[in-house]
Amino acid sequence: MTQAAEAFLQDVWQQITDIYEKENERIGELPKGRKLQAGIKDYLRVAWRKPKLGGGYGQFHIDVYEPFDWSDDSYKFEAGPYVEELTDEVLANEFFPALLERMNRIFMDGPYAPRFFDYRLELVFEFDRGESVLRHSRVLRNEAKRLELKQRLETFIQTKIMSDLPVLPAREDEFFFARLLINPDVFEQKQEKVDPLIRRLSEKLRSNRERAEGWESECASAFRGWAEERFLPRYFHRTGNFGLDWALKEAGEREEPRSGELEFFIYAAQEIGIKEPDTRQQYLELAARLGSEKAERFLNEGSGRFESLRKGSMFQGKANDILQTIDVRILSEEEAAYGEALDYIIDLLKQRFPKGYKLAFKSKEKHYLPLKKLAKSQQHQFFGNALRYPSLYPRLAAYAELAMEEFAWYGDVEPGEKSVMPGTYAVFGLGLYSDAYFPLVEKYMELVDSEHQSMQDDYADAFIEAHGLSAERMPVLVSILLGSGESAKPAKNIPIDRPELADALLAELEAKEDARRETVLYRIFGSSSKLAQAVKKASPPLKDKLERLLAWYR
């Protein structure tokens, strides 16, 4: 080895060992590792960069984690005069093989803790020539560690995933489990192998919404990481702002995708789409550019399991279950047109079309419910228009019964505070326009996820404005108040100023738990002090009844 290469290697190796000793000490202080984590370190990059202002000999950068394009967390050290003597040939034939040999030695038999290295380690070397960057890389593998991890995964699946409740995996294991399921080194990368395990854990977590959502997010993150770090870079260049777009590489730059892997990428797009519909569409478009007829069909027609196109005498409808979209065009602003459109949507839901679909709607008429905070989306517009026709109410109710699903949301707005459960617009409208659908409103309020949806918080005000307050309407009003979220403010106008109203409220709250009673009383009266003031001002028999309510509100 030339003196320059030897000097460069010694400098680099000294810094690597110093960094690794500190990292090893830090890792040793971490809590006990997870069974599905073979080790922590799986990447090392050594790079020499030219001096920016022309002085000195530049710096070499060491990254012990794969860096993001937009960040620079490298360890940086000054290089010596030897860099001026390092040719591409010397770097390729002397320096990099020597560095690789040393790394392989400590990777396989090094002095570090057992969980210091993962079963694989990517070693990258870069040397900046100004007009170009010399780059060499190699992936080191510890086969014994890989096989041990594969066995741990198999045991985990049998004992924690396939076993019956109440057995559940630890929350901390979900991150590693999601990523190992799509790692072809330890698990077969096929939809028919992976999907049943994802669905199995989702079903086991269904009663715990927080964990179910966390698992959903871990899966989406794992698929996206695989797609953007392992799959897409082989065929596309990152482009656009922040590298969010992808440009197809020239034919000579890219390999032909293997059919099985392309199929798995399409599956990944579908899984990511549960959380990120726009990413799902982008990935399917990229798969189509790689020649996938399936992706092309998915984009244009959906899976083929549903009636993708229906043309009525007064409307046109198009549905795509993969993109979870329904397009409706009203050709004539008449009751029959909306009836035809509702029949189409109902038929789709009966066939298990995704309930959280996004509706694209074209109509000259724009009618919305008298609820200011509801998003004025095309989905809202469609149901607002349809609710103009009382004879359609039974069909709207039938639709709502099919559509309502706890922990699901329409795709008509970006996920957030304006997201609503499927069926919301129909139920809210029916409840305001007809007392025949109060039972439907009560069912909705029992089902709605009040921890993650708040658009129902102001429904009580609209309900009172539409119907007024009576003893007969107290059951549905109480259900509306109980369906509100924790951040809901007191309603504006629910005066319990007559004995019969107090009696009806007492009857509704009698069998309720203390916390639910307090929720209702807070929404009606505000604070307990305000209820106490109402007691002072009231005369018997109303006074006595309000005192009974006050006794529950402490």
Backbone angles phi and psi of 344, in degrees to 5: -65, -50
Q: In one letter, which amino acid is 504?
A: A
Q: What is the pLDDT of residue 352?
A: 93
494 contacts: CB under 8 Å, gap ≥ 6 = 460, 464, 469, 477, 523, 524
The two three-digit tokens of residue 177, written as one number: 């489990």
- Same domain? For 394 and 485 the reply is no
- Same domain? For 383 and 522 the reply is no
**Which DSSP string do the residues of 84-126 spell out, in sequence order?**
GG--HHHIIIIIHHHHHHHHHHHHHH-SS-TTSEEEEEEEEEE
Distance CA 427, CA 440 (A): 7
Whose CA is closest to 64, among 37, 40, 78, 43?
A: 43
Contact 537, 507 (CB under 8 A): no
- Same domain? For 295 and 220 the reply is yes
- Same domain? For 111 and 180 the reply is no
Beta bridge partners of 329: 316, 362
User: Which of residues 300, 319, 341 is at a domain's end?
Assistant: 300
Q: What is the pLDDT of residue 485?
A: 85
Neighbours of 438 (CB within 10 A): 20
pLDDT digits (tens, 9 = 90+) for 286-344: 999 999 999 999 999 999 999 999 999 999 999 999 999 999 999 999 999 999 999 99
Distance CA 198, CA 267 (A): 12
- Same domain? For 366 and 501 the reply is no
pLDDT digits (tens, 9 = 90+) for 94-121: 999 999 999 999 999 889 988 999 999 9
Query: In the sheet that 358-362 helps form, which strands lie side by side, from edge to edge?
Result: 309-311, 315-320, 325-330, 358-362
The two three-digit tokens of residue 108, written as one number: 């396989």
Q: What is the pLDDT of residue 54?
A: 65
Query: If you ran DSSP here, which 8-state letter would residue 448 be given?
Result: S
434 contacts: CB under 8 Å, gap ≥ 6 = 390, 393
Whose CA is closest to 124, among 57, 181, 67?
A: 67
Give a yes or no: residue 71 inside a domain: yes
Bond prior to 354 in cis (omega within 30° of 0): no
Distance CA 107, CA 115 (A): 11
Contact 239, 247 (CB under 8 A): yes
- Same domain? For 98 and 160 the reply is no
Distance CA 273, CA 220 (A): 8
Distance CA 478, CA 427 (A): 16
Give a yes or no: residue 64 inside a domain: yes
What's this model's pTM, rounded to 2 decimal places? 0.82
Give a yes or no: residue 461 inside a domain: no
Burial letters for 476-490: b for 16+ Cβ neighbours within 10 Å, e otherwise?
bbbbbbbbbeeebee
Neighbours of 16 (CB within 10 A): 19
Q: In one letter, which amino acid is 39?
A: G
Q: In one letter, which amino acid is 533?
A: Q
The two three-digit tokens of residue 87, written as one number: 């040719």
Which domain range does residue 373 map to? 306-456
Backbone angles phi and psi of 237, in degrees to 5: -100, 145
Q: β-strands 245-248, 133-141: how paired? A: unpaired
Give a yes or no: residue 212 inside a domain: yes
Contact 92, 103 (CB under 8 A): no
pLDDT digits (tens, 9 = 90+) for 5-61: 999 999 999 999 999 999 999 998 888 878 999 999 999 999 999 887 767 889 999
Give a yes or no: residue 115 inside a domain: yes
pLDDT digits (tens, 9 = 90+) for 505-546: 999 999 889 899 999 999 999 988 998 998 898 899 998 989
Q: What is the pLDDT of residue 251?
A: 86
Give a yes or no: residue 45 inside a domain: yes
Q: What is the pLDDT of residue 71?
A: 59
**What average pLDDT does the segment 258-284 reach?**
92
Distance CA 390, CA 349 (A): 22
Backbone angles phi and psi of 16, in degrees to 5: -60, -50
User: Which of residues 412, 432, 456 is at a domain's end?
Assistant: 456
Q: What is the pLDDT of residue 68?
A: 66
Give a yes or no: residue 463 inside a domain: no
Contact 478, 509 (CB under 8 A): yes
Long-range (24+ apart) CB contacts under 8 A made by 504-511 are 504/471, 504/472, 504/474, 504/475, 505/474, 505/478, 505/549, 506/545, 506/548, 506/549, 507/474, 508/474, 508/475, 508/478, 509/478, 509/549, 509/552
Give a yes or no: residue 406 inside a domain: yes
> Is residue 86 predicted with pLDDT exceeding 80?
yes
Distance CA 431, CA 112 (A): 67
Query: In the sheet that 75-78 helps form, which strands lie side by side, from edge to edge?
Result: 75-78, 59-63, 41-49, 117-128, 133-141
- Same domain? For 337 and 438 the reply is yes
The two three-digit tokens of residue 146, written as one number: 């890989």
- Same domain? For 135 and 149 the reply is no
> Is residue 69 predicted with pLDDT exceeding 70?
no
pLDDT digits (tens, 9 = 90+) for 433-489: 999 999 999 999 999 999 889 999 999 999 999 999 999 999 999 999 999 988 899
Beta bridge partners of 62: 46, 75
> Is residue 70 predicted with pLDDT exceeding 60?
no
Q: What is the pLDDT of residue 345?
A: 97
Distance CA 543, CA 81 (A): 94
Using DSSP's 3-state secondary structure scheme, residue 403 falls into helix
> Is residue 258 predicted with pLDDT exceeding 90?
no
Distance CA 217, CA 212 (A): 9
Using DSSP's 3-state secondary structure scheme, residue 360 falls into strand
- Same domain? For 293 and 238 the reply is yes
Whose CA is closest to 123, among 45, 189, 27?
A: 45
Q: What is the pLDDT of residue 128?
A: 92
* Radius of gyration for the chain, computed over Cα atoms and rounded to the nearest angstrom: 31
pLDDT digits (tens, 9 = 90+) for 168-221: 999 999 999 999 999 999 999 999 999 999 999 999 998 888 899 899 999 999
Beta bridge partners of 127: 48, 134
Query: If you ran DSSP here, which 8-state letter would residue 49 be given?
Result: E
User: Which of residues 110, 141, 172 is at a domain's end?
Assistant: 141
Counting Cβ atoms within 10 Å, is residue 17 exposed (0-12), middle (13-18) or buried (19+)? middle
- Same domain? For 320 and 429 the reply is yes
- Same domain? For 134 and 242 the reply is no
- Same domain? For 331 and 412 the reply is yes
- What total number of domains does the chain contain? 4
**What average pLDDT does the segment 255-261 reach?**
86
pLDDT digits (tens, 9 = 90+) for 373-427: 999 999 999 999 999 999 999 999 999 999 999 889 999 998 889 999 999 999 9
